[in-house]
């Protein structure tokens, strides 16, 4: 388990970079919190993460959990203020 010093250092580093983390970093956290490998982070701009789902049914499920998923993402990436979902290619 990471020490609080390492966690704070990582968060401050991401915040100072201006991006809040790379798409790969956000994707790894997304897969962990959503337990969903069939959706993918496709964009991160102006605090909004865009996530592509492989089906409309998955999109509905993700939308139902939007608020809790956003809160969990914000714990790792405080610069994320919004999640946008769309049906599209995830591969």
- Would you kindly state where each structural domain of the chain is located, as residue ranges? 4-87
CATH number of 4-87: 3.30.300.130
Task: Label residue 66 exposed, middle or buried (CB < 10 Å: 0-12, 13-18, 19+).
Answer: middle
In degrees, to the nearest 5, what angle opens at C-alpha 28 toward C-alphas 3 and 78?
Answer: 60
pLDDT of residue 22: 85
More confident residue, 7 or 39: 39
Q: Which residues contact 15 (CB under 8 A, 6 or more apart)?
A: 78, 79
User: Confidence band (pLDDT; 50, 70, 90) for 88?
Assistant: confident
pLDDT of residue 2: 59
pLDDT of residue 89: 74
Q: What would the two tokens of residue 9 be?
A: 């250092």
Is there a contact between 78 and 72 (Cβ–Cβ < 8 Å)? Answer: no
* pLDDT tens figures, 13-69: 554 444 457 889 999 999 999 998 889 999 999 999 999 999 999 999 999 999 999
Distance between CA atoms of residues 10 and 63, nearest Å: 29
pLDDT of residue 10: 61
- Has residue 11 got a pLDDT over 60? no
pLDDT of residue 19: 43
């Amino acid at each position: 388990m990471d020490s609080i010093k390492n966690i704070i250092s990582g968060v401050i580093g991401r915040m100072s970079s201006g991006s809040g983390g790379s798409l790969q970093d956000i994707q790894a956290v997304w897969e962990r919190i959503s337990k969903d490998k069939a959706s993918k982070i496709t964009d991160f701009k102006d605090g909004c993460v865009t996530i592509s789902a492989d089906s409309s049914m998955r999109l509905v499920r993700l939308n139902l959990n939007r608020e809790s998923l956003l809160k969990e993402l914000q714990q790792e990436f405080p610069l994320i203020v919004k999640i946008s979902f769309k049906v599209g290619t995830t591969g």
